[in-house]
Structure 1
Amino acid sequence: MKLATYKDGSRDGQLVVVSRDLTRAHFATGIATRLQQVLDDWNYMAPQLQQLYEALNRGQVRHAFDFDPRLCAAPLPRAFQLAWATRPSPVRPEAEPDAPAPLRLELCAGDALLGPRDVAEFASDGWDLDAEAGIAVVTGDIAAGTPALEALEGVRLLTLMSRWRLRALDASDAGFSPPPALGPVAVTPDELGTAWEAGRLRADLQLTWNQRRLARCNAAEALPWHFGQALARLAHTRMLQAGSVVGCAAQAEVAGASFSVQTLRAHEPASGDAPTGGWLRHGDRLRLELLDARGQAPLGAIEQAVAISRG
């Protein structure tokens, strides 16, 4: 099934069920009002939402309406825990060719996650603004010490995730990291069919900057780890509570580099009208989506504009 959260003036929004083709929606009010409720009582509420989802896809619900991503908050507007898996910097040479890719987990601000169409606002253009792209999972409870393959059983939903980075401040204090943005819908793994296998997504992740495609690559290859590895790493010493969000940063073809706007622009072929490199600026627009074998975007898209205060 596919779930979203509509803005309603509250901190946690209103839970809606969205059709498979992302065209129709229905409020889940009779079952739950917000996603965290569902995650807390998944075994009881998820089957009810699944029934509503199936009826919505058949056109058998009376009060369905057109789904509008512009009205969406993040599917989970406030996360108890938010982590971002990325390569350590600098990347150390691996001892063996088949050794697992090094994984670094960074805790991020999860108290006010951005929606898929929210303007990303920043107070200074001297912070070297960049954005990293990836996929995130939303979990149920995962016990401390759970191994990687078992941790995958705790994955409840998947969504897009775009993390804003202030590169000028990262070195001195990672706590300056702004809240990331999540995609318009969060979907259960079964919705992705064979594209979801062993904790990896075999579909194309595409990042566009100012209507120019910077990169498109298979997410299974761009994410160096499967999600079970990232979840097990986070749960190594403590239990993960239902509603934890763990994102994995895609890696660019440049060795050890993140799938970020600045990295991708820096390696673009030079041309007269498109200078390479440079940080994001006021008015820039980013679009992130996951494209399946038919060219459809089952997770919708994150489309954000950058706004930087000049005062």
Structure 2
Amino acid sequence: MRLATLDNDTPDGALVLVSADGARMVEVGAGAPNLLALMADWTAGQPALGDAAARLDAGEGTATGTLRAPMPRSWQWLDGSAFDQHGKLMQIAFGLDPIESDRPLMYQGMSDRFYGPNDDIPFPSEDDGIDFEGEFGVIVDAVPMGTSAADAMKHIRLIVQINDWSLRTIAPIEMKTGFGWVQAKPACSIAPIAVTPDELGEDWREGRVCLDLDVEWNGARFGAANGREMAFGFHELVAHAARTRDLVAGTIIGSGTVSSPDYAKVGSSCISERRAIEMIEKGLPETQFMRFGDRVRMAARRTDGTHPFGTIEQTVVQR
């Protein structure tokens, strides 16, 4: 199934199912009025989803309207850093010592708002080092404390594509305090479509989204790294997060920036990585961070050229 949220001037929007070609949508209705409500009781919402799917298959539906983030707000957003190559390059970019750990890296970020796929993104200053970060994420139902990685797979209900906005000038300052990020990590953006794992078929393997994530900056190709390179699968990230706490239904867990050891060929999913590569190759970074008016476009791509999550396409503006 392909789920989305229609803007209806309410905080959580209206849950809709979207046709495979993206041309039609049907509202799910009272049985699951929004995605947050559906996640709160996934099983209870299945009849409403099934009815909406039947109507969509029968040719019903209206033209797709203005879509927000599939879940415009949630109870919890946990972002990992599951791509080893990204971590190595960021250590170079920020002049940090390697993190010696066999555990997934993860922090808790801002979850009370997620930008929609075509929202303008406001920032107070270009001097803060505005950067995009393309990644994938999952939305889980209620996960009990102590859930194993094997059991965590059945709690992954939906998969999403995320742009985790970052302010790179502020990040190393906050990292050195030993506390979590606040100023360096504003609200994220999410592509319009959340898909069930079966919708991806063979592109969902071992808890990984095995798709190229195409990234363009101001219309120029920037990267197309593949999500299969995760050192930890999403099931392992879920288990890590649930080791000492229950995860509330609707928790979103991110992969961290999609990255590849073959970066010379496939490029990167964030500017800071490119700057680190320039430091390795040339001694100094040359690429500047984003300016007001800059545009970024992200879309995971299947081998047939389709985009299962739709597209994030946004412009950076001054607050």
Range class of TM-score, shorter chain? 0.7 to 0.9
Partner of 2:45, secondary structure, is helix
C-alpha RMSD of matched pairs (Å): 2.3
Is 2:105 the counterpart of 1:113?
Answer: no
Q: Percent identity?
A: 31
For these two proteins, the number of residue pairs brought into alignment is 291
Amino acid at match of 2:274: L
Is 2:278 the counterpart of 1:281?
Answer: no
> Paired residue for 1:226?
233
In the alignment, the residues of structure 1 paired with residue 313 and residue 276 of structure 2 have an alpha-carbon distance, to the nearest angstrom, of 22
> Paired residue for 1:82?
77
> Paired residue for 1:65?
62
Is 2:12 the counterpart of 1:12?
Answer: yes
Amino acid at match of 1:10: T
Partner of 1:175, secondary structure, is coil
2:303 to 276, 287, 293: 293
> Paired residue for 2:127?
126
- Are the aligned partners of 2:130 and 2:289 in contact in 1 as well (CA < 8 Å)? yes
Tell me the TM-score normalised to structure 1 length: 0.87
Structure 1 segments unaligned to the other structure (5+ residues): 269-274
Amino acid at match of 1:295: G
> Paired residue for 1:272?
none
Is 2:269 the counterpart of 1:262?
Answer: no
Structure with the largest fraction of helix: 2
Is 2:318 the counterpart of 1:308?
Answer: yes
Q: Displacement of 1:57 after TM fit?
A: 3.0
In the alignment, the residues of structure 1 paired with residue 203 and residue 58 of structure 2 have an alpha-carbon distance, to the nearest angstrom, of 24
Q: Displacement of 1:175 after TM fit?
A: 0.9
Structure 2 segments unaligned to the other structure (5+ residues): 175-180, 279-284
Partner of 2:126, secondary structure, is coil
Q: Displacement of 1:203 after TM fit?
A: 1.7
Q: Displacement of 1:171 after TM fit?
A: 2.4
- Are the aligned partners of 2:192 and 2:310 in contact in 1 as well (CA < 8 Å)? yes
Q: 1:146 to 1:192 in 2, by over 3 A?
A: same
- Are the aligned partners of 1:80 and 1:110 in contact in 2 as well (CA < 8 Å)? yes
Q: Displacement of 1:94 after TM fit?
A: 6.9
Q: Displacement of 1:4 after TM fit?
A: 0.8
Amino acid at match of 1:139: V
Q: Displacement of 1:32 after TM fit?
A: 2.0
Amino acid at match of 2:312: I
Q: Displacement of 1:279 after TM fit?
A: 0.5
Instruction: Render the CA deviation track for 1:205-245: whole Å, top value 9, x for unaligned.
Output: 11111111111122112x33210111111111100010000
In the alignment, the residues of structure 1 paired with residue 297 and residue 216 of structure 2 have an alpha-carbon distance, to the nearest angstrom, of 5
Q: Displacement of 1:50 after TM fit?
A: 3.0
- Are the aligned partners of 1:185 and 1:300 in contact in 2 as well (CA < 8 Å)? yes
In the alignment, the residues of structure 1 paired with residue 182 and residue 299 of structure 2 have an alpha-carbon distance, to the nearest angstrom, of 27
Amino acid at match of 1:304: Q
